[in-house]
Copies of this chain bind each other. A is one copy, B any other.
């Protein structure tokens, strides 16, 4: 079995970022990411800590904005548009989902696309669909593509099945794969004979959120599997694919240590991509 770990891919992307940061800082620019948190959700706080740690490692400044769940919409709007307009802020990550869907919709409709490093706005979200493949792109789909590219997995003409049809993962990833001339099948919970489809694919990308759901019966000896699932069972974190698939397939990304760590480096690449050097 071929190892297709995320670490080497993430390291490569980070090295590119550091190189770019070197040039940027020589020009006197201090790239800054704004992380905007509403309320005290545990997940958000953990994610915020990770982002700050990763940013620090890359020499990227972070500005934290925190408002309460019960603050007014006007306050949210004010804070958000201040970030949007501030020339010293290069990217904004707003932790979602927000309790208040009106706030979330406002942010999606109003975020400056050049700062929308997390692709929450419709503008950046729809880019791969509209054949726009430069600049800021959705992070998780980009991470999958980077892994496939890094490990020289042929895409042209190959059958790829994606078991996910969301606008944040399956759809943009499918558009990116189509752009590389793969033959792309979108599967989901209503798909009949899923096993037959995945078994007949060269590459399978799973994003269903069910711990260890896919065992060897879904694949063939030559399958390349990108596991985007992040789930937890009694043994800790696990993807959508059963652990220890051993020599039963050609390659599978581990969870943890696969797509996730690449995704976070893509966010920072997105942050820098609108800074001209």
Contacts and interface: CB of A to CB of B under 8 A. Distances in A.
A77 interface: no
Interface string A173-191: 0110010010111111011
A129 interface: yes
Given A129-B171, A130-B125, A183 B181 contact: no
Contact of A122 (B126, B181, B191): B126
Interface in A108-167: 122, 125-126, 129-131, 156-159, 165, 167
A192 interface: yes
Contacts of A211: none
A197 interface: yes
B192 A157 contact: yes
Contacts of A191: 157, 183
Given A126-B122, A126-B126, A171-B129, A186 B192 contact: no
Contacts of A125: 130
Contact of A183 (B156, B167, B186): B186
A188 B181 contact: yes
A190 B156 contact: yes
Contacts of A156: 190
A158 to B, nearest CB: 7
Contacts of A130: 122, 125-126, 167
Contacts of A126: 122, 126, 129-130
Interface in A23-76: none
Contacts of A184: 185-186
A250 to B, nearest CB: 17
Given A125-B130, A130-B126, A167-B130, A186 B157 contact: no
8 contacts: A122-B130, A126-B130, A129-B171, A131-B167, A174-B186, A178-B186, A184-B185, A185-B185
* A-B CB proximity, top 6 nearest: A181-B190, A126-B126, A157-B192, A185-B185, A129-B129, A183-B191
